[in-house]
Amino acid sequence: MLEILASGNHHITHLPSPSNDSKPISNKPNHLQILKKCTHLIQFKQAHAQIIKTPLHQSDTYLSKIIEGVVGFSDLIYARQVFDQITEPSTFAFNTMIRGYGTNDLGPEGIDLYIRMRHRGLIPDNFTYPFLLKACSGLKQGKGVHSLVVKDKRFSSEIHSLTSLMTFYCSFGDVGSARLLFDRMPQRNVVTWTGIIAGYVKQKRYKDGIELFNQMKNNGVEINELTLVSVLSASANLGALEIGQWVHEYIDQKRILLNPKLGAALIDMYAKCGHIDKAYQVFGTIPCKGVYVWNAMIGGLAMHGYGNEAIERFQEMQQNGIMPDRVTFIVVLSACSHSGLVEKGKEILLSMRKDFGIEPNIKHYGCFVDILCRAGLLNEAYEVIINMPMEPNAVLWGTLLNACAAAANVELAEAAMQRLMVLEPFNDGNYVLISNIYAATERWNDVGRVRKILKDRKISRNPGHSLIQVDNVVHEFMVGDGRHPCSEQIYGMLEKVAIIIKEWSL
DNA sequence: TTAGGGTTAG
């Protein structure tokens, strides 16, 4: 095993004998270098098993290095076993374990270890808070770490700890607190700026994200591919094609490699901004098409109504050796839904567990219900909702209610509304829909009853709105909005478009 | 040994 891993000057013959070897680690580079060369966990464990037989390698420093290696392979159980062998773990060893827990969604274990570290009288260093805050991601009890950082004068102005703190607030959606921290930071770099932009984007505050990106550019801060992924996501969701195109040109100019995540973001941006042809073009240029890239492309085709093409790409990705994931099935099922492919959708849903070992979740069932609803199969959709293996949520009942509005099906609409009044009691859209269904069937008493509920529960009706970007400015319109300076021309054009559509549909 | 990224059902 070690022979395979050792290369050049570092050969197996350099292994220390198991006894009487008390030279310091630094004089024995082979073992650590051999471990570094391991590309798979199994290799690493085998190499470790060989080396650990020597007394030298039971030193805390060495074991800490082992933990670091194993944490890199995400085997936290093995890492913990090694950690527990250390009689006097150093701050480095604690840091490494906390980092491992934090990056593997085992935050509470990381926090627990930090407490143990302090009980042992160890002082945190500049790495501890970033790792600990990562472990606290999404956990409100992590707010206590904020005061720890503030009190620790060594790090209360230190960029890594503060950026981690900012990201921690973003992790449970408190972008307001994150922004306060950001504004007060003595130093900011590309990571800090990207972190706050990503925070806004995750909260769907796309305009704020773009605004900060503009500020970042004006401040002359370096921009990298991580920044651009968030900016592309914001422009995609705003339909801000010009910003997205600027990013694309920047990528080309700076010769930034289209890694799978950046490539997927670019495809998604073009697809959401209406340019499926450009999305396809970008798709063709990405050298390593990971599952993200395929998902973005299939999702783009789905939203443009190219169901059969989406399914072809789904098959092609498998021929290319890429395993579909949960998201792939969501976008493929959504392709079936937008193209009326009922049987295909059913077949794909059934194949998830059977052929791919992926258990369908509520989103997959949601897509299938949508397939049935859009095909007008409302009774079948209702049957799926009440018989699926998990508790239906508001999205499922909302899908059915929407479909009932299109078909004026009062009976099923009432069944859906009954649940929605519990699940989403303040969603004005649902009340509007049921009221419209009653109106369409001339049930005026029921229309009045719904209006009274809206009034009694003080539910305000939230008007729909749409966004469009022209010449780098995003314009927002509400229903019946007349505030825009070009309102008259816009409505004039809208009427013309409506006439054209009517002519087409005749 | 540090901090930041995407896609996903009404």
Helix pair angle (A60-72, A91-103), 10° resolution: 10
Q: Are residues A441 and A474 in the same domain?
A: no
Distance A506 CA to B7 C1' (A): 38
What pairs with residue A465 in β-bridges?
A478
Final residue in a domain of this structure, among A242, A268, A288: A288
Residue A299 (CA) to nucleotide B8 (C1'), in angstroms, measures 9
| A255 and A331 co-located in one domain | no
Q: Are residues A402 and A455 in the same domain?
A: yes
Same domain, residue pair A397 and A447? yes
From the CA of A112 to the C1' of B1: give the distance in Å: 19
Does residue A505 surpass a pLDDT of 70? no
**Residue A335, domain member (yes or no):** yes
Coil, strand, or helix at residue A476? Answer: strand
CB distance A307 to A341 below 8 Å:
yes
Å from the A346 CA to the B9 C1':
15
Q: Which residues contact A409 (CB under 8 A, 6 or more apart)?
A: A378, A403, A437
Q: Token pair for residue A135?
A: 């472990």
Contact A241, A273 (CB under 8 A): yes
CA of A259 vs C1' of B8, distance in Å? 20
Within A 180-239, residues with CB less than 7 Å from strand B: 189-192, 194-195, 198, 201-202, 224-227, 229-230, 233, 236-237
User: Count of residues for chain A?
Assistant: 506
Q: For A308-325, how does the pLDDT look when each residue is reduced to its tens digit (9 = 90+)?
A: 999 999 999 999 999 999
What's the CA A226/C1' B9 distance, rounded, in angstroms?
A: 28
Find the helix or strand (DSSP H, E) in which A380 lies. helix A378-387
User: Does residue A34 contact residue A15 with C-beta atoms inside 8 Å?
Assistant: no
From residues 144-163 of A, list those within 7 angstroms of strand B by Cβ. 159-161, 163
Which of the four pLDDT bands, split at 50, 70 and 90, describes residue A176? very high
In whole angstroms, B1 C1' to A423 CA is 46
Q: Closest nucleotide to A334's CA, by C1' atom?
A: B9
Nearest protein residue by Cα to C1' of nucleotide B7 = A296
Identify which has the larger pLDDT, A66 or A356: A356
Distances (CA, A) of A324 to A198, A276, A291, A327, A340: 26, 21, 7, 8, 22
CB of A324 closer than 8 Å to CB of A333: no
A393 closest CA partner among A369, A371, A376: A369
Helix axes A260-272, A291-303, angle to 10 degrees: 10
Containing structural domain, residue A274: 188-288
**CA A177, CA A180: separation in Å to the nearest integer?**
5
Convert the pLDDT of each residue in A325-368 to its tens digit: 999 999 999 999 999 999 999 999 999 999 999 999 999 999 99
Q: Give yes or no: residues A235 and A221 share one domain.
A: yes
Task: Decide if A69 contacts A34 (C-beta within 8 A).
Answer: no
Q: Which of A71-75, A91-95, A230-234 has the lowest mean pLDDT?
A: A71-75
Instruction: Decide which of A53 and A329 is more confident.
Output: A329
Domain-embedded: residue A338: yes
Q: Which residue has the higher pLDDT, A35 or A192?
A: A192
Which protein residue lies nearest to nucleotide B10, measured between its Cα and the C1' atom? A399
Q: How far is the CA of A384 from the C1' of B6 (A)?
A: 31
Q: Over chain A, what is the mean pLDDT?
A: 87
Nucleotide B6 C1' to residue A54 CA (A): 46
Regarding whether A274 and A202 lie in a shared domain, the answer is yes
From the alpha carbon of A72, which nucleotide's C1' atom is closest?
A: B1
A236-258 residues labelled b (16+ CB within 10 A) or e (exposed): bbbbbbebbbebbeebeeeeeeb
CA–C1' gap, A155 and B6, in angstroms: 32
Nucleotides of B under 7 A from a protein CB: 1-10
Q: How confident is the model at residue A7 (pLDDT cuts 50, 70, 90)?
A: very low
Domain shared by A454 and A480, yes or no: no
Distance, CA of A171 to CA of A195 (rounded, Å):
10
From the CA of A157 to the C1' of B8: give the distance in Å. 38
pLDDT of res. A25: 41
Report whether pLDDT(A123) > 60.
yes
Please count the structural domains in chain A.
Answer: 4
**pLDDT classification of A22: cutoffs 50, 70, 90:** very low
Residue A289 in tokens:
């098409």
Q: Which two tokens stand for residue A49?
A: 């098993």
Confirm whether any atom of chain B, the nucleic acid strand, is less than 7 Å from CB of A118. no
Least confident residue range of A107-116, A178-187, A407-416, A494-503: A494-503
Distance A301 CA to B8 C1' (A): 14
A393 and A457 in a single domain? The answer is yes
Residues A397 and A313 in one domain: no
> Does some domain include residue A309?
yes
Indicate yes or no: strand B within 7 A of the C-beta of A110. no
What are A425-428's contacts with CB under 8 Å, separation 24+? A425/A457, A426/A457, A426/A459, A427/A394, A427/A398, A428/A454, A428/A459, A428/A460, A428/A461, A428/A462
Same domain, A277 and A197: yes
In a domain, A237, yes or no: yes
| A56 falls within a domain | no
Q: Is the CB of A296 under 7 A from strand B?
A: yes
Cβ-based contacts (< 7 Å) between A 472-501 and strand B: none
CA atoms within 13 A on the CB side of A228: 27
**One domain, residues A319 and A401:** no
Which residues from 358-417 of A have any strand B atom under 7 Å from their CB? 362-363, 365-367, 370, 393-399, 401-402
| A329 and A255 assigned to the same domain | no
Nucleotide whose C1' lies closest to the alpha carbon of residue A127: B2
Residues 6+ apart with CB under 8 A from A154: A126
User: What are the DSSP calls for A95-130, one per residue?
Assistant: HHHHHHHHHTT-HHHHHHHHHHHHHTTPPP-TTHHH
Q: Examine the fold and report which residue of A313, A335, A360 is the final residue of a domain before the chain moves on.
A: A360
> How confident is the model over A460-476, as a mean pLDDT?
66
- pLDDT for position A419: 95
Find residue A473's DSSP bridge partners.
A470
Residue A4 banded pLDDT, cuts 50, 70, 90: very low
* pLDDT, tens digit (0-9, with 9 covering 90-100), for A420-449: 999 999 898 899 999 999 998 899 998 989
The Å distance, CA of A53 to C1' of B8, is 48
Run of H or E residues at A466? strand A465-470
Complete DSSP assignment for A255-323: T----HHHHHHHHHHHHHTT-HHHHHHHHHH-SS--HHHHHHHHHHHHHTT-HHHHHHHHHHHHHTTPP
Position A88 in a domain? no
For the segment 253-282 of chain A, residues whose CB is within 7 A of strand B: 259, 261-262, 264-265, 268
DSSP class per residue in A25-58? GGG-HHHHHHHHH--SHHHHHHHHHHHTTSGGGG
Model confidence at A304: pLDDT above 70: yes
Domain-terminating residue out of A268, A288, A308:
A288
Which stretch of DSSP H or E encloses residue A477? strand A473-478
Residue A177 lies inside a defined structural domain of this protein: no
Q: Cβ(A129)–Cβ(A149) under 8 Å?
A: yes
Q: What's the CA A444/C1' B6 distance, rounded, in angstroms? A: 48
The answer as to whether A41 is a domain residue is: no
